[in-house]
């Protein structure tokens, strides 16, 4: 690997300062959490931050105290620290019981070894796994201006929201967080800000080079999960389809959160993964469930509405019926879990 300096940050604002100092010196800098993905990119000499070089400086976020757990941050929210490992997240009793979709998403990631190092923030901010980007092609994601999947090998690429880049968002946590209406807390040079999922993740049509709004000197520090009133009857699940049993990014996934009133669904949030450059909410499909009892026929209809706007590229048409199926089955499984 190219030589770089590891700098341990003692706080989020110190991390930001370190990054800005490095940028000011004309150096390339990357924040690093678990590092399992970033080190791969660096070894393969793949650009992490578009417009930047291989890092001269890694600002290590793991040394920031207080970011590796779940804590009650007020009457209305749990804060999940950005440095919490995926393993710890998937085992946390509050997450398992109250935010099941998130626990299931976390435990679907990769392998135990990766989950013991990989973090919430790292997973959400992970770069795409498109084989063009990862093989060093100078595409949008590397700071270039072309997408090689167009009229190319696009078996794993987007059926929603694509253009000019057609990557699919690689994070499993991201659809779950959006389905939970999580708030993303960012710390930067101007202090902190909170963004909804809709504002945090960015479509290629807005910015083809990045998957989220983070600038080079900003850090995703934590995510906040709203606490719903106990009578809300919330059920949630995450279902991920892969082309082997484990250790693969989603071909299609569904994160579903239902607020039930007895066996009638009051509200639904359905967010798809593996099919779009951002976690893909499907509000029309959600609307099919409002005020209804969930039956197999309704679940089927929800799936069909979810894929209504899908557009196949030349080699990924199979994702469309697959996505419909995943949505249908996840919704139905929640109806059964009364």
Residues of span 252-311 touching other proteins by CB under 8 A: none
Nearest distance from C-beta of residue 8 to other proteins, angstroms: 5
Sheet containing 77-81: order of strands: 70-72, 77-81, 219-226, 183-188, 191-196
- Are 152 and 132 in contact, with CB atoms under 8 Å apart? yes
Stretch that binds other proteins, among 141-149, 174-182, 193-201, 267-275 (CB under 8 A): 141-149
Minimum CB separation of residue 293 from other proteins in Å reads 23
The counts of H helices and E strands in the chain are 13, 13
Task: Pick the closer one to other proteins by CB: 48 or 183.
Answer: 48
- Binding-residue pattern over the window 36 to 75 for other proteins, x denoting contact by CB under 8 A: xx-xx--xxx-x----xxx-xxx-x-xx------------
Residue recorded with tokens 């270039």: 144
Minimum CB distance to other proteins, residue 295 (Å): 18
Question: What residues contact 31, with CB distance under 8 A and at least 6 apart?
Answer: 15, 19, 58, 59, 61, 219
Residues 200-259 within binding reach of other proteins (CB under 8 A): 241, 243-248, 251
Number of residues interacting with other proteins: please give it, by CB under 8 A.
Answer: 73
Stretch that binds other proteins, among 109-117, 225-233, 272-280, 285-293 (CB under 8 A): 109-117
Q: Of these, 11, 138, 232, 292, which contacts other proteins (CB under 8 A)?
A: 138
Q: Which is nearer to other proteins, 117 or 232 (CB)?
A: 117
The per-residue DSSP string of 3-58 comes to --EEEE-SSHHHHHHHHHHHHHTT--EEEESS-HHHHHHHHTT--SSTT--S-SEE
SS3 at position 260: strand
The reply to whether 190 sits near other proteins by the rule CB under 8 A is no
Which one of 148, 166, 238, 280 is in contact with other proteins (CB under 8 A)? Answer: 148
Q: How far is the CB of 172 from other proteins (least distance, A)?
A: 15
């Amino acid at each position: 690997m190219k030589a770089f300096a590891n700098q341990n940050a003692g706080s989020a604002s110190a991390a930001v300062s370190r990054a800005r100092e490095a940028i000011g010196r004309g150096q390339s800098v990357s924040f690093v959490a678990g590092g399992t993905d970033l080190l791969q990119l660096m070894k393969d000499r793949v650009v992490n931050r578009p417009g930047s070089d291989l890092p001269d400086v890694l600002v290590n976020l793991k040394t920031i105290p207080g970011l590796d757990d779940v804590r009650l941050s007020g009457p209305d929210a749990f804060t999940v620290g950005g440095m919490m490992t995926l393993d710890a997240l998937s085992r946390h009793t509050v997450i398992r019981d109250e935010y099941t979709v998130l626990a299931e998403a976390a435990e679907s990631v990769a392998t135990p070894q990766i989950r013991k190092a990989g973090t919430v923030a790292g997973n959400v901010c992970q770069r795409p796994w498109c084989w063009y980007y990862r093989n060093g092609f100078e595409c949008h994601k590397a700071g270039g201006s072309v997408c090689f999947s167009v009229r190319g090998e696009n078996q794993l690429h987007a059926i929603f929201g694509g253009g000019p880049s057609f990557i699919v968002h690689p994070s499993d946590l991201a659809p779950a967080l959006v389905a939970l209406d999580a708030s993303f807390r960012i710390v930067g040079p101007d202090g902190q800000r909170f963004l909804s999922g809709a504002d945090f993740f960015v479509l290629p049509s807005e910015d083809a080079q990045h998957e989220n709004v983070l600038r080079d000197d900003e850090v995703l520090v934590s995510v906040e999960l709203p606490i719903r009133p106990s009578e809300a009857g919330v059920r949630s699940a995450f279902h991920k389809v892969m082309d082997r049993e484990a250790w693969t990014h989603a071909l299609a996934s569904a994160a579903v959160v239902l607020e039930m009133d007895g066996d009638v669904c009051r509200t639904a949030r359905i967010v798809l993964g593996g099919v779009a450059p951002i976690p893909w909410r499907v509000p029309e499909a959600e609307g099919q469930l409002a005020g209804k009892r969930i039956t197999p026929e309704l679940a089927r209809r929800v799936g069909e509405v979810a894929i209504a706007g899908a557009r196949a590229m030349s080699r990924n048409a199979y994702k469309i019926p697959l996505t419909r199926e995943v949505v249908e089955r996840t919704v139905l499984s929640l109806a059964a879990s009364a």
